[in-house]
Amino acid sequence: MTDHDTTPSPTLSRRAALTGLGVAGAVAGTATLAAPAIAQGVQDWKMVTAWPKNLPGPGVAAQMLADRITALSGGRIRVKLYAAGELVPGRGVFDAVSEGTAELYHAVPSYWGSKSKGILLFGSQPFGLRADEQVGWLAHGGGQALYDEMYARFGLKPFLCGNSGPQMAGWFRKEINTVDDLKGLRFRTTGLASEMCSRLGMAVQAMGGRDMFQALQSGALDAGEFIGPWTDSALGYYQVAKHYYWPGVGEPSSAEECGVNLAAYEALPDDLKQAVAYACESLYNPVWTEYTTKHAQALKQLVEDQGVMLKKMPDDVLVAMGNAAGEVIADLREDSDDLVKRIVESFLSYRVSIADYMMYADNGQMNARALDYTYG
């Protein structure tokens, strides 16, 4: 875990500690914990988010997290969710929690590059880690200690609490046939993908999901990516841009995070620290697998019912993107901040190790599954 966290970090230790809380009783909201909750006092925490309320994907996940912290704490921490703009703007949640306006937020690390470029690696990396690899780096490759060290600078305790899985390359109003077609293209993206695209001559713009729809509709944007089929279809991008490109190499996965005010977190007794930590950790797989399942369903509907043209980005364009991404990572390795350099080296070391293995493991299985044979 972190220098600021005196509780055990391994998953089994968390679960063992939570057994002491009576997890089943906490989730069910039983009366067993009611008396201790009253005796020890109830804390009302505000969660601010970067999303519209109940937006399919991240908005839904944020509410799940608020509910789970409340349940696992036995009601001793009551979390109330505020959607983007209700208490603070969506892109203001990091500062709001850092300053103590709210106790925690739900967003993505990809939004905080202005704080430090090193933060961006904890969310997604162009040509980087998949969802399982991302949490593997943090839990088993030394990433969490660096994540904690970086966020402590801002008075925050960070946790990953979900992942969108592989994102799409985006919605384009016109076809992309060569690298030259990208030059001058007004494109919405975020995080390190923004820097990759800028190096290819794209005019990158940062904006929220709903603003992206309006910009595509008005012609202020030529293209943009947000998340993937499930969330994208809910926002209606297929109505204003019919070319839907894959793969989303800018974000092979995109981790969602919970940032907790560090002073508020450290003031908690150990069992409530564990409740907050486990609420985040235990949502990672449910959130990721819900995205994956509903992305698959939504993509089929977009193509069959909405006339979306699903297209693969040409290989020469992908190679150009890979080279641009490599330049971005090379620059980060030379950053003036020693912590940023240590984060990059840790990420690269894990990426090399896991990529070598995946050639024989997941890649091998997926390639075999795609062969032409009769099944079922």
User: For the segment 3-32, what is each residue's pLDDT rounded down to a tens digit?
Assistant: 334 333 433 333 333 333 333 333 333 333
Mean of pLDDT values over 262-266: 98
Let me know: does 169 contact 313? Beta carbons within 8 Å: yes
| Residues 71-127 pLDDT 10s | 999 999 999 999 999 999 999 999 999 999 999 999 999 999 999 999 999 999 999
Task: Judge whether 77 lies within some domain.
Answer: yes
DSSP 8-state secondary structure symbol assigned to residue 109: G
Strand partners, 255: 163
Q: Which domain holds residue 18?
A: 11-165+253-292
pLDDT at 12: 35
- CATH assignment of the domain containing 95: 3.40.190.170
Binding-site members for Na(+) are 226
- Residue 62 falls inside a structural domain: yes
List binding-site positions for substrate.
167, 188, 225, 251
Least confident interval from 10-19, 126-135, 273-282, 330-339? 10-19
255-261 sheet: strands from edge to edge: 77-82, 43-49, 104-107, 255-261, 156-163
Residue 41: predicted pLDDT: 85
- The three-class DSSP label of residue 115 is coil
Would you say residue 254 has pLDDT above 80? yes
Question: Mean pLDDT throughout 292-315?
Answer: 98
Q: Give me the mean pLDDT over the 340-354 stretch.
A: 98
pLDDT at 351 over 90: yes
Judge whether 280 lies within some domain: yes
336's torsion region: left (phi>0), alpha (psi -120 to 50) or beta? alpha
**Tokens for 33?**
């914990």
Instruction: Write out the binding residues.
Output: 167, 188, 225-226, 251
- Asked if the structure places residue 326 within a domain, the reply is no
Name the nearest CA neighbour of 249 among 340, 315, 182, 184. 315
Instruction: Give every CB contact of residue 207 below 8 A, 6+ residues apart in sequence.
Output: 188, 215
Phi, psi of 314 (to 5 degrees): -55, 145
d(CA 102, CA 321): 39
* Nearest alpha carbon to residue 194 among 210, 180, 206: 206
Domain membership flag for residue 322: no
Q: Which residue has the higher pLDDT, 238 or 11?
A: 238
Residue 75 lies in a domain: yes
Q: Which percentage of the chain shows pLDDT scores above 70?
A: 89
What does the pLDDT look like over 173-228, one tens digit per residue? 999 999 999 999 999 999 999 999 999 999 999 999 999 999 999 999 999 999 99
Q: Closest Cα to residue 227, out of 108, 85, 92, 316?
A: 108
DSSP string covering 228-284? -HHHHHHHTGGGT--EEEE--TT-S--EEEEEEEHHHHHTS-HHHHHHHHHHHHHHH
Per-residue confidence (pLDDT) for residue 40, from 0 to 100: 57
223 DSSP β-pair partners: 172, 187
Q: Is residue 154 part of a domain?
A: yes
Confidence of residue 350 (pLDDT cuts 50, 70, 90): very high
Task: Determine the pLDDT at residue 99.
Answer: 98
In a domain, 6, yes or no: no
Please, which residues have CB within 8 angstroms of residue 154's CB and are 6 or more apart in sequence? 94, 98, 115
Residue 222 · residue 173 · CB < 8 Å: yes
Q: At 355, list the tokens.
A: 């990529």
Return d(Cα 138, Cα 347) in angstroms, integer: 9
Number of domains within the chain: 1
| CA separation for the pair 64, 60 (Å, rounded) | 6
Q: 162 pairs with which residues across the strands?
A: 256
Query: Is residue 134 over pLDDT 50?
Result: yes
pLDDT of residue 24: 35
pLDDT of residue 23: 34
pLDDT of residue 290: 98
Other Cβ atoms closer than 10 A to 338? 8
Task: Give CA–CA dist 23/25, Å, rounded.
Answer: 5
